[in-house]
Amino acid sequence: MSPYFEGENFSFERHRDSDMKQVFKRPSSLRDIPFHFCPGCHHGTIHRLVAEAIDHYHLRERTIGIAGVGCAVFVYEYFDIDTAEAPHGRAPAVATGLKRALSDRIVFTYQGDGDLASIGMSEIVHTANRGENITVIFVNNTVYGMTGGQMAPTTLLGQQTTTSPYGRDFNQDGYPIRMAEILATLEGTAFSARVALNTPANLMKAKKAVRQAFEMQMNDMGFTFVELLSACPTNWGLNPIKANERVEKELIPYFPLGVFKERKGSDHF
C-alpha cells in the first residue's frame, strides 16, 4: 500500500489580525500567478483540484504533466512540476512512452473534449485498453474553447456552435459521446468517473474523485480517468452563474455523474 501519509498540505498560519487559523490556501504545486482563463471557466478550478491532490500525497517532485492542445495547453505555466506538450490528441500516447520509461513517476494528462474525444479517440481508447498506469484528467465543456466555439464530440443535440449553427443534429453529426462510460467497459481501466464543478456539493465529490485517481496510480492499480463536466461561459454565451445552471439542467441529465468503474485491486503482479 501507499507509503505516503496524509499530511496537511498547508501550515496553520495565524491571521495577522487575530487568532484565526487559515483553512483555505492555494496549493503549493500551483504557481502563484494569475490564471488567464475567462471569468467562470472551470479550468482554474480543475487545475487547483489536481494541484491539491499532488500536494496531498507529496507528489510534486515526481509528477509529470502532459498537456493536450486547446485551453488545456497552458498546464506548463500553472503547475510547478515537470510538464510536456503533446500534439493534439496524442497526450495518452506521450504519457504511455514516458510512464514506460519512468514507471515510478506519477504521470497525468490534461485534455479537453476535442483533444481527447475527437482527434485523440484512438490514443485514449488504446491507452486505457493497455491499462497504462497513468491518470487522465478530461475537461468536458461540450465545445472547442480555444479555437472559438466549434462543435465537439460532446456537444449536446440541438446545441448551437460555430460549426453547428443550426443546432447539433444526430442525422448529420451523430450523438454526443459519453467517454467515462466507454472507457469503463475496457478491462484495462481501473477507475472511470464523471464529476461536475457547478455546485459546492458536486465540487467536493470531484475533489474526492481526482484524489482517488492519483492514489490509485500511486498504488499501481492501472488506468485512471476522471471526466469533469465544465462550463465555458464565453463560448456558451452565458455568464458564469447561468453557465453552471446549464451544467445542472442540460449536461448532467445527458452525462450522468458517478463512478462507472472502480477496481479494488491491481490486475498485475
User: CA torsion, points 111, 113, 118, 120, in degrees to nearest 10?
Assistant: 10
C-alpha cell at 123: 490514443
Tell me how far, at minimum, the Cβ of 48 lies from other proteins, in Å: 5
Ordered DSSP codes for 106-174:
EEEEEEEHHIIIIITHHHHHHHHHTT-S-EEEEEE-SEETTTTSEE-TTPPTT--BTTBTT---HHHH-
Report how far residue 185's alpha carbon sits from residue 183's, in angstroms, rounded to the nearest whole number. 5
Measured distance CA(79)–CA(83) in Å, rounded: 8
Q: Is 262 in the site for other proteins (CB under 8 A)?
A: no
According to CB under 8 A, which residues from 51 to 80 bind other proteins? Answer: 69, 73
Number of residues that bind other proteins (CB under 8 A): 56
Q: Out of 3, 11, 15, 171, which residue is the one contacting other proteins (CB under 8 A)?
A: 15
87 is a contact residue toward other proteins (CB under 8 A): yes
Nearest to 222 by CA among 256, 186, 178: 186
When binding is defined by CB under 8 A, the residue of 89, 112, 188, 222 that contacts other proteins is: 89
Contact between 188 and 223 under an 8 Å Cβ cutoff? The reply is yes
R_g (Cα) of the chain, nearest Å:
18
The nearer residue to other proteins, 47 or 99, going by C-beta atoms, is 47
Query: Which is closer to other proteins, CB of 2 or CB of 97?
Result: 97
Of the candidates 9, 28, 129, 163, which one interacts with other proteins according to CB under 8 A? 163
For residue 117, give the C-alpha cell: 474525444
Residues between 164 and 223 with contacts to other proteins, criterion CB under 8 A: 164-166, 172-173, 199-200, 203-204
Q: Which listed residue (79, 138, 144, 255) binds other proteins by CB under 8 A?
A: 144
Least distance CB 141 / other proteins (angstroms): 12
Contacts of residue 175, Cβ cutoff 8 Å, sequence gap at least 6 = 157
Q: Which of 96, 244, 255, 263 binds other proteins (CB under 8 A)?
A: 244
Choosing from 9, 62, 119, 238, the residue that interacts with other proteins (CB under 8 A) is: 119
The CA distance from 43 to 67, in Å, is: 13
Q: Which spans of this chain sit near other proteins (rule: CB under 8 A)? A: 15, 17-18, 20-26, 30, 34-35, 37-45, 48, 69, 73, 85, 87-89, 114, 118-119, 121, 144, 146-148, 150-151, 153, 162-166, 172-173, 199-200, 203-204, 233, 239-241, 244
